[in-house]
Amino acid sequence: MSQTSLLLERLGALIQRSVRDDAARHGLLPIHLQVLLFLMRANRYSDLPIAIAEYFGITRGTVSQTIAVLERKGLLTREADARHGKRVHLTLTAAGKSVLNRSWVERVEQALCEQAVEAATLESTLRNLLSVMQRSNGQRAFGLCRECAHFLTEQSGARCGLTHEPLATEQTVRICREWSAAKAERA
């Protein structure tokens, strides 16, 4: 057996503990903090309750309860979609963003900076591993928009080839529930 699986298991356990500790400092549960982090990174097709349920593999009931808590604490707001009926977008408030300051993410980033490894290579390896495991578990990949098979660059800027809508630059570096692997990767 390779040591890599065991190392990933230990890292996962340590990160889970850090998430628990960070959440407790703010009087939150780990899932509350994880949802805030997800919304910070999600694009406009994914800042939705259904996307949260898919991303974490939790029920819509749990998502509703989580959103209600975060809203009550003033950490996020809901905004109705101007064009799609009952769809509701979720946005972090300034207080919600500040909860994520000095979180476990920064500590991991700091530790990574201290390693003599090529960050891009490590990221690519981990992303590929995640992709394989998500596929075998039947989960959506939630990849980066600008790395999606549907991503188009035109003279006027970026566009989504799936929805045919223009994409603001800040949206292209976010994650998306509609993401699809590039054709070369799928072959």
Q: Tell me which residues touch ligand SF4 (CB under 6 A).
A: 43, 45, 145, 148, 150-151, 160, 162, 176, 178-179
CB of 45 to ligand SF4, least distance (A): 5
**Cβ-proximal residues to 135 (8 Å cutoff; 6+ apart), any chain:** 141
Of 71, 72, 109, 102, nearest to 88 (Cα)? 71
Closer to ligand SF4 by Cβ: residue 15 or 40: 40
Asked whether the beta carbons of 63 and 52 are under 8 A apart, the reply is yes
Considering the complex, what minimum distance in angstroms separates the CB of residue 154 from ligand SF4?
A: 12
Q: How far is the CB of 84 from ligand SF4 (least distance, A)?
A: 15
Which of left, alpha, beta for 170 (phi over 0: left; psi -120 to 50: alpha)?
Answer: alpha
Whole-number minimum distance, CB 178 to ligand SF4, in Å?
4
Closest alpha carbon to 141 in 186, 88, 92, 109: 186
> What's the CA gap between 134 and 179, in Å, rounded?
13
**Cβ pair 30, 16 in contact under 8 A:** yes
Distance of closest approach, residue 41 Cβ to ligand SF4, in angstroms: 12
C-alpha 174/C-alpha 134 separation (Å) is 19
